[in-house]
């Protein structure tokens, strides 16, 4: 099959036929060639054709409603093993089997991730594709189970093509070329990534760690590529200062939580002198929230906190336009008034303590607190970059991972409560 | 937790509690330690306690019938994406999530396979556990998708602990110690196995291949450990003479079909001189069928074949006791009468052509014909071992894998038709 | 032994003592610790102390002249096996045994290479150290025998710390950062290096190869980091465009010849479509020779060539100052007169054909012609860089490796004759 | 070159020509093909042709006596660096360069080892080949320098072809098949081998170690393949109970000493609870010495010891025939008289303390005492096998390796003195 000779307009129908064959009896016993055909054709589709292809997948490979209903009724009337098995069979989308057969080809897993990446970009305006996305997410979640992921340290002995991807995927503090990367891979900086055996050349997610004498309150010195390298006797804290997902097609597959904990265990074993594991994290969208009036939607906010909150909002009196203007005029945390500082720190603390458990709360806080970390410190003048000042008035936060308490904290968080270090409350 | 200090009778309740914790909110974010607890406790359970443990899993982690019914009704009334997603969520057993969390521990996958192995041994008298088995089978089938399996050649450079397992798991032609194994790994004999990245020390299934100048009609010379080694210029046929599953806990997970085809492709690439890929296979239970009157349950048997069948049955007039007596008295295919030989070969051919597509048909034939192989030859006096004479009067069969036709043949077979080489029909 | 507490002035005597112990009876059976002591102390010596250390090695560990003479006389009077063995024992410097014992430490080999590197920098003004250098060279030559060297392809999957060294050691056409390197490792550019098992992180020598449709006449497009990547069907010639030694301490150890030939064999096997293996090489010091009157010291220059030579010298009338002036004023090969061009090409051809076999001849030519390559083409306006114009008026040369003839050509060269492609003579 | 078509009688002259070519100018730059030719031809030679081939190597590739003498005279008159370099060049056999060029082929090193193996078998009756042997030994000694050897643990995960060689090469306590080997690779038994990077499939020398609660006095339980496996908390002593060279062609290359020490360091690091490193060794030829009158040739034997020696010799009154007769009649150490036992133990102790430093002394004692071990214990009834009783009346010896003292002990031993544990003297 010489795909590159095919008239582009025929490609879509070719892809749909390949789908049909792959799910047929012939496809059942086929090891890889039909899957390869489908992959090759899919990769030649235009973006628009891909959209049509997904619509087809979304429409044609659903469970049969009548069968589902009959199976559910039988199970409801008698919840026996037979009826449950029949129900499972009736209610699984045939799409899932299609994707499993696609996965038999060597590049199958990567293709499904890429398909989902494409799909996710249009999902917000194509809600009818959500069930297709759910099927992909379900399979990928099962296949990328944390137990199957291999953690590898990435260092200066790693292959260049892997390092190049680290540079490319770093999403928090951009890596400024190979010299910057080299600094981040010195003995007092570590980088760990998850890999899947099926995608040995693709880091899935990676975290960067700084080994420091104490918990840092600002990001500048930490990502300075000319900073001196510390020696092992100075390592007391492991600071997770950047965590980046590499595969948009794996959105929603839980990996970061497991990576941070496995890194912490690994470092603790290698360096028993480490006393704490902690992040230095941004607070994206904090000032948006402040400028919109800092609404507190949580129920269980203590009255004293509410009072402090109101006073701070009043004092700042910020609106988006006003804040933009100040930023443009060069507002900086190291020169602003004490009152302003106190008000911003109070609000940030409340934002994290009360709003993180709410819908729309800060995503970084949700991630770390949801992992069972504790809100440890709110740092003033911690990120003096333009972006840092604009989004969070230069504030950054330390979330502390106490490995003995992360499960309890996680449970508390699910139930709406945030764990925090006592000293934080002084800010409110 | 010092498990070995625990009073045995408390272990079951410990295991059940571990199950509960693993599926709780705390368990959600737990990387491995809760799973490890459950695994460690499970491994200490007595067989009886394991039975009770499984009963618990089978009873307590089912979908809620009312929820399922509501979701099915909603989907039936409007088969939208939202309703489908809700239906999938409602109808999946919480057990599956439990098993996925168990899998996060390094030994999780192996434990689930071992659990299922234990479960399968009691399943015939405990039908209420079938849905639990189905859940395990579903997950394992997805995780051991052919795309994830790595094929490795096993040879005399392989680690001894792997070779030891090959000796132990060989299920067709027992390997008589290390010298026999060594012969089977010479250049004119090959062995290929599937491995899963999570179980690098466990072959999952392996196939043994002999490279020969022509398709062999008897097994003796082929497994003779003193046979001379052939040179590459003599290799014309690759004969799959033994295929063995190693993990009973993976029963039903389709691997053999894919292994044979991948081996064929690999050998074809390495040795372009190979003309055919073929098996030399036993016909287990053939004489049981003959002695029970050789019932033909298939619909589409041609009238001429039926006549031949009846004549053969009449001629042989075999009943179990009679056959046993003859075998005991030293009946041998190389000394029996021409008529007897003709009758037995006719019946065997019919048994394979007509009965393989029927429930209860010969499992080896079902496997190869279902994979898309063709019935190529029925060999007289092919297996002169006591077992071979008893089960199939010494008959063995060649199934031919023509890689260009296996998908078509598979489809025919699913529809009740067996592909065969013309010459076979001369026997009937 | 806490070496860093030792008073620097004591280090030298420490090193000398360590040398003594290592060569003692105790040192004979010592696996590594005495060698490690010596290495650690040596590495702390100042440059001046190293010089003294080497003088000591050069003075104190020589064969005993009286013993040597006695052994030689015995051997001369009766050249028996016993006498020869005694002679070998008497005439080997004890230094060699010292170095062999030093080599027992894990870092011993690297240390000896580094020692020789240091030594070579002072050898021109310290001729009394030449025998020490000869002993080191002898042992390193034996240990780095071509049979022990492993050739590896260096590509974009290689570890970053290896690639960094490639950038650093490239001595012919400097690599301008990681993007330039990346271009040189694309599928139409190859890089191969020799490694020694004892120094897995140290490339010893590497060659860069361009795969091109034809033998190139200029270097510019070939090292342009923005040049488009060719596809495999266009590969007809493999061009060795750069070869760099990485370890000055291995000077004189023959590796380049073997590397080029092993690369050629490897590429020929991978790409049977390759028709020729050839270099594109600079002609360093050519203009120095021209400006010094272009002396022809070889005996066997044909009369016709001599005439052409004289005419060219007369026409150009170059002296160093004059040439410098022209270069400074922007002399360029693409704008100079036809006569000048003809004269320069003639002289270059003669320089290579006649002077390469002479002492002081062009080192690049000596290397390739000595390896058995043939002088294939003298390219005008091939290197328009300032350095290229200054050293060789922009001329570059192709040396052709015809694998079937390299041994014969090598022998001819040793006997004073250069192999060349016919067309070259048109230039003279 | 189709070697197998060549008339056998022509092979020798072919081999000699190949030798000549390899050492010619053409051979100088040849990477491997000429060496391969010579290797291929050599391997086809008959044993007798090999003898002739070696005679040729021994006769034709010697240094020129006149040149050697001139160089020695120059060096004696003025021992300058130049003269030393000239002397080294003149006195090295051209054979060595020949062997170095042979080594450029991938199988060169192995071939030289095999050549020397063949050579050594005839050396005793061909003293004229000793210089050839010395050249080979010199090069192999340099190439197999301890620093180049890699120590690997051999265990049940090692490749079968390596394990097979361990079975085959074990020279002290024969391994009785794969089950016996498996026992010797359990966690309380270890096996370590040296490998050379050029011969990754060939163990060069290996040592077997038992981890035990105390220093054992008899070999039986230690090599019992049904003995129970001990757990790590019981490991107090590491017992080297067997050490075997695998490559006869490397005879005289010092490896065992370094292996034992590296193993001891490795085990000490892994198991800090180990208190002692010790052997359990046979005393081959002890009874031969007793039966020949137990001659004490050492000078420095104390008078008291001499008296004890004479008394024991008188008491036993053994002659070879008499001892043979007793062994045949079932003499056993556990049933012999007290006097006899005392006399045998005395003599054995003296044999080891006094004779080990003498020419012809016990080779096992020479090896361990020469490595710097101490004579620790002489064990009665330690080896009840027929061979053990015949060669040493069932006695075995523990040599103790105290890593802090091995260098001092080695030096003492070189000077004629044996280190021993006090308690040993009670036996004399």
Phi, psi of C190 (to 5 degrees): -130, 155
Lowest mean pLDDT, pick from A73-87, A107-121, B412-426, C196-210: B412-426
The pLDDT confidence band at residue A193, using thresholds 50, 70 and 90, is very high
Q: Are strands C396-401 and D150-153 parallel, antiparallel or unpaired?
A: unpaired
Can you give the residue range of the structural domain that contains A169? Answer: 149-278
Q: Which two tokens stand for residue C367?
A: 């290397």
Judge if D226 and D131 occupy the same domain.
no
Tell me if D157 and B157 make a contact (CB, 8 A cut-off). no
Q: Which two tokens stand for residue A120?
A: 């996710």
Q: Which two tokens stand for residue A299?
A: 């129920």
How confident is the prediction for chain D on average, in pLDDT?
Answer: 94
Q: What is the distance in angstroms between the Cα of D220 and the nearest Cα belonging to chain C? A: 32
The pLDDT confidence band at residue D29, using thresholds 50, 70 and 90, is confident
For D220-236, letters b (16+ CB in 10 Å) and e give eebbeeeeeebeeeebe
Per-residue pLDDT at D1: 46
Using an 8 Å Cβ cutoff, are D79 and C128 in contact?
no
Length of chain A: 428
Give the 3-state secondary structure of chain A: CCHHHCCHHHHHHHHHHHHHHHCCHHHHCCCCHHHHHHHHHHHHCCHHHHHHHHHHHHHHCCCCHHHHHHHHHHHHHCCCHHHHHHHHHHHCCHHHHHHHHHCCCCCHHHHHHHHHHHHHHHHHHCHHHHHHHHHHHHHHHHHCCHHHCEEEECCCCCEHHHHHHHHHHCCCCCCCHHHHHHHHCCCCEEEEEEECCCCCCCCCEEEEEEEECCCCCCCCHHHCCCCCCCCHHHCCEEEEEEEEECCHHHCCCCCHHHHHHHHHHHHHHHCCCCCEEEECECCCCHHHHHHCCCCCCCCCCCHHHHHHHHHHHHHHCCCHHHHHHHHHCCCCCCCCCHHHHHHHHHHHHHHHHHHCCCCCCCHHHHHHHHCCCEEEEEECCCCCCHHHHHHHCCCEEEEEECCCCHHHHHHHHHCCCCCECHHHHHHC
Tell me if A81 and B127 make a contact (CB, 8 A cut-off). yes
Choose the final residue of a domain: B143, B174, B189: B143
Helix/strand/coil percentages in chain D, nearest 5: 55, 10, 35
Q: How far apart are CA D358 and CA D319, in angstroms?
A: 22
Q: What is the CA radius of gyration of chain D?
A: 25
Q: How far apart are CA A118 and CA A46, in angstroms?
A: 11
Lowest mean pLDDT, pick from B3-17, B48-62, D168-182, D199-213: B3-17
Judge if D166 and D135 occupy the same domain.
no
Locus of tokens 């096993």: B154
How confident is the prediction for chain A on average, in pLDDT?
Answer: 94
User: ∠B53-B58-B60 over CA atoms, to 5°?
Assistant: 90
Tell me if B63 and A410 make a contact (CB, 8 A cut-off). no
Count CA atoms within 13 Å of residue D146 on its CB side.
23
Question: From the list C58, C132, C410, which residue is nearest D29 (CB)?
Answer: C410
Judge if B139 and B24 occupy the same domain.
yes
Q: Which residues, 6+ apart, have CB-to-CB distance to B385 below 8 Å?
A: none
Q: How far apart are CA B251 and CA C174, in angstroms?
A: 61
Percent of chain B, pLDDT > 70? 99
Judge if A318 and A195 occupy the same domain.
no
Per-residue pLDDT at D3: 56
Judge if C361 and C420 occupy the same domain.
yes
The pLDDT confidence band at residue A2, using thresholds 50, 70 and 90, is low
Q: Is the pLDDT of residue B52 over 80?
A: yes
Judge if C132 and C48 occupy the same domain.
yes
SS3 B200: coil
DSSP H helices, B329-426, are 338-355, 363-370, 386-392, 406-414
User: ∠A375-A379-A382 over CA atoms, to 5°?
Assistant: 130
Q: Read off the pLDDT of residues B148-188 as tens digits, 9 standing for 90 and up.
A: 999 999 999 999 999 999 999 998 999 999 999 999 999 99
Tell me if B103 and A148 make a contact (CB, 8 A cut-off). yes
Cα(first)–Cα(last) distance of chain D, in Å? 69
Per-residue pLDDT at C318: 87
Q: What is the distance in angstroms between the Cα of C160 and the nearest Cα belonging to chain A? A: 5
The ipTM estimated for the assembled molecules is: 0.93
Q: Read off the pLDDT of residues D131-160 as tens digits, 9 standing for 90 and up.
A: 999 999 999 999 999 999 999 999 999 999
- Residues of C within 8 A of A167 (CB-CB) are none
Judge if D43 and D160 occupy the same domain.
no
Q: Is the pLDDT of residue D122 over 80?
A: yes
The region that residue D63 occupies, defined by phi over 0 for left and psi between -120 and 50 for alpha, beta otherwise, is beta
Q: Is the pLDDT of residue D5 over 80?
A: no
Question: From the list B72, B109, B130, which residue is nearest A72 (CB)?
Answer: B72
Q: Is the pLDDT of residue B31 over 80?
A: no
Count CA atoms within 13 Å of residue D234 on its CB side.
13
Neighbour-count burial of A28, counting CB atoms closer than 10 A to its CB (0-12 exposed, 13-18 middle, 19+ buried): middle
Q: Is the pLDDT of residue C393 over 80?
A: yes
Question: From the list C69, C410, C411, which residue is nearest D73 (CB)?
Answer: C69
Tell me if B159 and D156 make a contact (CB, 8 A cut-off). yes
The pLDDT confidence band at residue B1, using thresholds 50, 70 and 90, is very low
CATH number at residue D108: 1.20.140.90
Question: From the list D72, D130, D142, which residue is nearest C69 (CB)?
Answer: D72
Interface test with B, best of A33, A145, A255 (most B CBs within 10 A): A145
Sign of dihedral through CA atoms D162, D167, D170, D175?
positive
Per-residue pLDDT at D273: 95
Q: Which residues of A are catalytic?
A: 281, 368
Neighbour-count burial of B58, counting CB atoms closer than 10 A to its CB (0-12 exposed, 13-18 middle, 19+ buried): buried
- Give the mean pLDDT of A256-276: 96
Q: Read off the pLDDT of residues C308-352 as tens digits, 9 standing for 90 and up.
A: 999 999 999 889 999 999 999 999 998 899 999 999 999 999 999
Judge if D250 and D298 occupy the same domain.
no
Domains identified in chain A, total number = 3
Q: Which residues, 6+ apart, have CB-to-CB distance to D315 below 8 Å?
A: D339, D340, D343
Locus of tokens 């012969």: B183
Q: Which of C171, C254, C163 has its CA nearest to residue C201?
A: C163
Lowest mean pLDDT, pick from A300-309, C237-246, D347-356: A300-309
Judge if C322 and C273 occupy the same domain.
no
Per-residue pLDDT at A1: 46
Choose the final residue of a domain: D109, D143, D177: D143
Q: Which residues, 6+ apart, have CB-to-CB distance to A17 below 8 Å?
A: none
| Cα–Cα separations (whole angstroms), residue A186 to A208, A209, A229, A230, B18 | 11, 11, 7, 9, 41
Q: How far apart are CA D208 and CA D181, in angstroms?
A: 11
Using an 8 Å Cβ cutoff, are B287 and B271 in contact?
no
Q: What is the CA radius of gyration of chain A?
A: 25
Q: What is the distance in angstroms between the Cα of D354 and the nearest Cα belonging to chain B? A: 46
- Residues of C within 8 A of D100 (CB-CB) are 141-142, 145
SS3 B237: strand
Q: Read off the pLDDT of residues A346-399 as tens digits, 9 standing for 90 and up.
A: 999 999 999 999 998 999 999 999 999 999 999 999 999 999 999 999 999 999
Tell me if C159 and A161 make a contact (CB, 8 A cut-off). no
Q: Read off the pLDDT of residues B282-298 as tens digits, 9 standing for 90 and up.
A: 999 999 999 999 999 98
The pLDDT confidence band at residue C213, using thresholds 50, 70 and 90, is very high
Q: Read off the pLDDT of residues D101-111 as tens digits, 9 standing for 90 and up.
A: 999 999 999 99
Give the residue from chain C lying closest to A178, CA to CA: C178
* Beta carbons within 10 angstroms of residue B45's beta carbon: 18
Q: What is the distance in angstroms between the Cα of C312 and the nearest Cα belonging to chain A? A: 51
Choose the final residue of a domain: A278, A296, A326: A278
Q: Which residues of D are catalytic?
A: 281, 368
Which of the two residues, C32 and C128, has the higher pLDDT score?
Answer: C128
Using an 8 Å Cβ cutoff, are A92 and A62 in contact?
no
Per-residue pLDDT at D71: 98
Give the residue from chain C lying closest to D129, CA to CA: C81
Using an 8 Å Cβ cutoff, are B132 and B55 in contact?
no
- Give the mean pLDDT of D351-374: 93
- Give the mean pLDDT of B45-73: 96
Q: Is the pLDDT of residue C4 over 80?
A: no
Per-residue pLDDT at D2: 53
Q: Is the pLDDT of residue B277 over 60?
A: yes
Judge if B332 and B253 occupy the same domain.
no
Q: Is the pLDDT of residue B86 over 50?
A: yes
Judge if D139 and D152 occupy the same domain.
no
Cα(first)–Cα(last) distance of chain B, in Å? 69
CATH number at residue B155: 3.40.630.180
Judge if C346 and C260 occupy the same domain.
no
Q: How far apart are CA C165 and CA C149, in angstroms?
A: 18
Interface test with C, best of D38, D145, D369, D371 (most C CBs within 10 A): D145
Percent of chain D, pLDDT > 70? 99
Q: What is the distance in angstroms between the Cα of B11 and the nearest Cα belonging to chain D? A: 26
Per-residue pLDDT at B5: 63
Q: Which residues, 6+ apart, have CB-to-CB distance to B337 below 8 Å?
A: none
Tell me if C156 and A156 make a contact (CB, 8 A cut-off). no
**Residue contacts between C and D (CB atoms, under 8 Å):** 194
- Give the mean pLDDT of C13-42: 90
- Residues of B within 8 A of A195 (CB-CB) are none
H or E element, residue C133: helix C130-143
| Cα–Cα separations (whole angstroms), residue A23 to B148, B257, B370, C159 | 19, 17, 16, 42
């Amino acid at each position: 099959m010489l795909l590159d000779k095919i008239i582009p307009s025929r490609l879509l129908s070719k892809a749909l036929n390949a789908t049909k064959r792959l799910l047929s009896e012939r496809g059942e016993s086929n090891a890889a060639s039909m899957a390869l055909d489908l992959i090759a054709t899919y990769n030649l589709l235009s973006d628009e054709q891909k959209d049509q292809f997904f619509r087809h997948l979304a429409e044609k490979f659903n469970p049969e409603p009548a069968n589902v209903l009959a199976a559910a009724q039988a199970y409801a009337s008698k919840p026996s093993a037979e009826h449950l098995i029949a129900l499972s069979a009736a209610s699984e989308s045939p799409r899932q089997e299609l994707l499993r057969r696609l996965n038999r080809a060597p590049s199958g897993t990567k293709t499904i991730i890429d398909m989902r990446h494409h799909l996710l970009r249009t999902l917000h305006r194509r809600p009818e594709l959500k069930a297709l996305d759910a099927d992909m997410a379900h399979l990928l979640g099962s296949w990328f189970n944390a137990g199957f992921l291999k953690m590898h340290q990435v260092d200066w002995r790693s292959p260049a093509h892997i390092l190049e991807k680290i540079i490319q995927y770093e999403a928090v503090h951009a890596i400024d070329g190979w010299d910057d990367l080299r600094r981040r891979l010195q003995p007092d900086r570590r980088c760990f990534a998850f890999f899947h055996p099926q995608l040995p050349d693709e880091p899935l997610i990676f975290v960067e760690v700084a080994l420091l004498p104490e918990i840092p309150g600002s990001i500048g010195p930490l990502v300075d590529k000319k900073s001196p390298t510390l020696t092992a006797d100075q390592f007391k804290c492991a600071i997770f200062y950047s965590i980046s997902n590499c595969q948009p097609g794996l959105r929603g597959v839980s990996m970061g939580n497991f990576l941070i904990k496995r890194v912490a265990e690994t470092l603790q074993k290698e360096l028993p002198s480490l006393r704490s594991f902690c992040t230095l994290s941004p607070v994206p969208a904090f000032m948006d929230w402040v400028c919109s009036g800092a609404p507190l939607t949580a129920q269980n906010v203590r009255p004293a906190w509410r009072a402090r909150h109101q006073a701070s909002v009043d004092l700042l009196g910020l609106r988006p336009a006003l804040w933009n203007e100040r930023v443009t005029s060069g507002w900086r945390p190291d020169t602003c008034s004490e009152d302003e500082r106190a008000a911003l720190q109070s609000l940030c603390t409340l934002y994290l303590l009360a709003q993180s458990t709410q819908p729309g709360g800060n995503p970084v806080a949700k991630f770390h607190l949801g992992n069972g970390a504790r809100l440890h410190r709110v740092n003033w003048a911690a990120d003096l970059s333009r972006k840092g000042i604009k989004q969070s008035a230069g504030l950054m936060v330390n979330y502390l991972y106490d490995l003995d308490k992360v499960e309890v904290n996680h449970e508390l968080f699910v139930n709406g409560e945030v764990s925090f270090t006592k000293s934080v409350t002084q800010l409110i």
